[in-house]
A and B are shown apart, each in its own frame.
Chain A
Amino acid sequence: MTAIARARAFALSGWQELRYRADALGGALLWALVLSFLVGAAVSSPDHFAVGLVVGSVYALAALGLTLVYGVLRFANFAHGDLMMLGAYLAYFVLTGAVVGTRRDVHLPRALDSLPGASERLGDLTFGYGLLLATLLAALALALLCIGLDRLVYRPLRRRRAGVVVLAVASLGLAIGLRSLMLMLWGPNPRLYVEGVFPARSFPFGVLLKTDQVFTFGLALGLAALVYLLLFRTRLGKAMRAMADNPDLARVSGIDTDRVTTATWALAGALMAVAGVLLALQAQLNPQLGFVVLLPVFAGAILGGIGNPVGALLGAMVVAMAQETSVGWEIFGRQLDPTYKPGVAFVILIAILLLRPRGLLGART
């Protein structure tokens, strides 16, 4: 080895070492920031913290689906938010049978609403078993729809070895198409699963939550736990993770990657529908809502380390918490307006991308 080559190798290893240190430092900094923020939020405004947990659990469910599709199929699905909303509207449709008409809504002669007792409130919840059934049907429908869209749009592109940008732009087009479809079918005005005003319940530390919100938190976390079990305990789930790691190696291990792809879309579709219904349950059904949540959901998935299911959960929680507690922040002596919530997610996104693009739990590349 000549002296120059040796010097060069030394400089290169020094650079590697420096990059490694910077990455480790970025990680430590990010973890410290996230943890101190969570503790601070919980102590200073438990009310916003609680709402953050609820919203975060919905984002987490959405981010889980997003990160699964990203991991297994390797592209950023910009249609995720609009597919979620479509799921919410499908549940609305099978529940009420309503679509927008020329003057007034047109109703199907029969819908789940007309089943005996379907609208009777379950305990303290605002809805009856009709909505639960509708959610289940919407989850099934969206799973099938996602498989269909993959066959129609994404698979032909993959076969042509289209790059990530082509796939992402195709998904963006799909998102706009789906949003227009929802506008056509259900109009621009917000809709509700159940009409009426419902009081919130008091919890310790001055936390006010509706029973629906407690239900949302429980269902979302329960489903996330099931997905975790699927991914880490079943043969199919392990095959999904294997394919996310290395699709070619998965194929030469005998894994039928077409079938794993189908299963991934089915799972992601079902998760999207449930996340969409839970999201709409927090506020209203609105064709624009899917696009609004896309950003915080992406921010959450990237904060956790895109492709990592546990990271998606954690990241989504943190982003939701930041958005909710931002309502109480004072900047230049004025309270931050709630309309800045998406901006908070955007700031977080930029900060992670600068500080540590692989996020909290993402693999080193």
Chain B
Amino acid sequence: MAGSTSTASVLEVRELVAGYGEVEVLHGVSLRVAEGEMVAVIGPNGAGKSTLMKAIVGLVPPRAGRVLLRGQDITGLPAEQVVARGVCYVPQADNVFPSLTVRENLEMGAYLVPKQARARMERAFALFPELAHRRHERAGRLSGGQRQMLALARALMLEPQVLLLDEPSAGLAPRMVELVFAKVREINATGTAVLMVEQNAREALKLAHRAYVLAMGQNRLEGAAQELLASPDVARVYLGE
């Protein structure tokens, strides 16, 4: 996206350090997501991609660094408050409530805005028609692809300022991956900024405007997605060529 660097940042991460117990996973990661932008974070297994997501959303407490939402400091806020401010997150696995029905999952997505739940649910069903037919079914009975759709729909119920996606293509059949990515593009096209972590680097780079390459808990490369896709370094190391 041309000129994206000049627009205001929706989300900015500065020198973020985080980890679990004795282990430090992120050693100072920085990134920014501009208004309406789709940003991908790619990198090998164990690079700290999922931890980055969890640290931004407040599930893993950051040890240093800052997370800014439209310039406001949200570093270290509990997850439920980060979400209330408009950073919604779709975890990689276990991203629906299996014993709740599809409808109840969406209600939980709209937990903070119960009055708007009904209207937003109708919108979610319009965006994901296959969920509408199964609204009274338990989420645990959905297929992997449908579950991913429901997870997206749940995260959209609060009309987030920025949507965080942790490996939306993980464990899905190729046809479903295509479908999920198409939906992500559709969501982004309506103006929602997206920060996506992906193992499937090539597809992610095709989809995103800009991307960061993460390795060993640090930024390695940053640039327009097209440039990274064309870069021989990235191709050799991360695209398996």
Asked if A253 and B104 sit within 8 Å, CB to CB, the answer is: no
Asked if A249 and B111 sit within 8 Å, CB to CB, the answer is: no
Asked if B100 and A251 sit within 8 Å, CB to CB, the answer is: no
- List the one stretch of A55-63, A191-199, A238-246 in contact with chain B: A238-246
- Give B164's nearest chain A residue, CB to CB: A252
Asked if A252 and B79 sit within 8 Å, CB to CB, the answer is: yes
Asked if A249 and B94 sit within 8 Å, CB to CB, the answer is: yes
Q: Which residues of B contact A251 (CB under 8 A)?
A: 58-59, 78-80, 83
Residue B95 interfacial (CB < 8 Å): yes
Residue B210 interfacial (CB < 8 Å): no
- Give A251's nearest chain B residue, CB to CB: B79
Asked if B140 and A253 sit within 8 Å, CB to CB, the answer is: no
Residue B167 interfacial (CB < 8 Å): no
Q: For B79, B95, B108, which residue has the most chain A Cβ atoms within 10 angstroms?
A: B108
Residue B38 interfacial (CB < 8 Å): no
Asked if B108 and A250 sit within 8 Å, CB to CB, the answer is: yes
Q: Mark A225-269, 1 if CB is under 8 A from B, else 0.
A: 000000000010011011011101111111111000000000000
Could you tell me the distance in whole angstroms from the C-beta of B224 to the nearest C-beta in chain A? Answer: 30
Residue A162 interfacial (CB < 8 Å): no
Residue B154 interfacial (CB < 8 Å): yes
Asked if B97 and A246 sit within 8 Å, CB to CB, the answer is: yes
Could you tell me the distance in whole angstroms from the C-beta of B106 to the nearest C-beta in chain A? Answer: 10
Asked if A252 and B57 sit within 8 Å, CB to CB, the answer is: yes
Asked if A242 and B100 sit within 8 Å, CB to CB, the answer is: yes
Residue A363 interfacial (CB < 8 Å): yes
Could you tell me the distance in whole angstroms from the C-beta of A346 to the nearest C-beta in chain B? Answer: 29
Q: Which residues of A contact B96 (CB under 8 A)?
A: 249
CB contact under 8 A between A235 and B111, given known A252-B59, A252-B79, A254-B158: yes
Whole-angstrom CA separation of A102 from B212 in the bound complex: 77
Pick from A235, A249, A254, A257: contact of B97, CB below 8 A. A249
- Give B84's nearest chain A residue, CB to CB: A254
Asked if B108 and A239 sit within 8 Å, CB to CB, the answer is: yes
Asked if A246 and B94 sit within 8 Å, CB to CB, the answer is: yes
Could you tell me the distance in whole angstroms from the C-beta of A7 to the nearest C-beta in chain B? Answer: 23
Whole-angstrom CA separation of A252 from B104 in the bound complex: 15
Q: Which residues of A contact B107 (CB under 8 A)?
A: 235, 238
Within residues 56 to 80 of chain B, which ones have a CB less than 8 A from any CB in chain A? Answer: 57-59, 78-80
Q: Which residues of A contact B95 (CB under 8 A)?
A: 249
Whole-angstrom CA separation of A242 from B98 in the bound complex: 9
Q: Which residues of A contact B168 (CB under 8 A)?
A: none
Asked if B104 and A238 sit within 8 Å, CB to CB, the answer is: yes
Within residues 202 to 233 of chain B, which ones have a CB less than 8 A from any CB in chain A? Answer: none
- Give B105's nearest chain A residue, CB to CB: A242
Residue B48 interfacial (CB < 8 Å): no
Could you tell me the distance in whole angstroms from the C-beta of B160 to the nearest C-beta in chain A? Answer: 11
Q: Which residues of A contact B98 (CB under 8 A)?
A: 245, 363
Could you tell me the distance in whole angstroms from the C-beta of B178 to the nearest C-beta in chain A? Answer: 23
Q: Which residues of A contact B108 (CB under 8 A)?
A: 238-239, 242, 250, 253, 255
Q: Which residues of B contact A249 (CB under 8 A)?
A: 91, 94-97
Whole-angstrom CA separation of A173 from B114 in the bound complex: 41
Residue B109 interfacial (CB < 8 Å): yes
Asked if B91 and A252 sit within 8 Å, CB to CB, the answer is: yes
Whole-angstrom CA separation of A242 from B158 in the bound complex: 17
Whole-angstrom CA separation of A244 from B80 in the bound complex: 16
Whole-angstrom CA separation of A249 from B108 in the bound complex: 10
Whole-angstrom CA separation of A250 from B107 in the bound complex: 11
Asked if A253 and B100 sit within 8 Å, CB to CB, the answer is: no
Whole-angstrom CA separation of A248 from B88 in the bound complex: 13
CB contact under 8 A between A239 and B100, given known A252-B89, A254-B83, A254-B158: no
Asked if B100 and A241 sit within 8 Å, CB to CB, the answer is: yes
Asked if A254 and B94 sit within 8 Å, CB to CB, the answer is: no
Asked if A245 and B83 sit within 8 Å, CB to CB, the answer is: no
Q: Which residues of A contact B94 (CB under 8 A)?
A: 246, 249
CB contact under 8 A between A257 and B140, given known A248-B59, A251-B59: no
Whole-angstrom CA separation of A251 from B97 in the bound complex: 12
Could you tell me the distance in whole angstroms from the C-beta of B120 to the nearest C-beta in chain A? Answer: 13
Q: Which residues of B contact A239 (CB under 8 A)?
A: 108, 111
Residue B1 interfacial (CB < 8 Å): no
- Give B140's nearest chain A residue, CB to CB: A363
Could you tell me the distance in whole angstroms from the C-beta of A321 to the nearest C-beta in chain B? Answer: 27
Whole-angstrom CA separation of A256 from B84 in the bound complex: 10
- Give A253's nearest chain B residue, CB to CB: B108
A-B residue pairs in contact (CB < 8 Å), sample of 9? A238-B108, A239-B108, A242-B97, A251-B80, A252-B59, A252-B83, A252-B89, A254-B83, A254-B111
Interface residues of B (CB under 8 A from A): 57-59, 78-80, 83-84, 88-89, 91, 94-100, 104, 107-109, 111-112, 114, 140, 154, 158
Known: A253-B83, A363-B99. 14 other contacts (CB 8 A): A239-B108, A241-B97, A241-B99, A242-B97, A245-B100, A246-B97, A248-B91, A249-B97, A250-B97, A251-B79, A251-B80, A252-B59, A252-B80, A257-B80
- 9 nearest A-B residue pairs (beta carbon): A251-B79, A254-B112, A245-B97, A254-B83, A242-B108, A253-B108, A252-B89, A242-B97, A254-B111
Interface residues of A (CB under 8 A from B): 235, 238-239, 241-242, 244-246, 248-257, 363
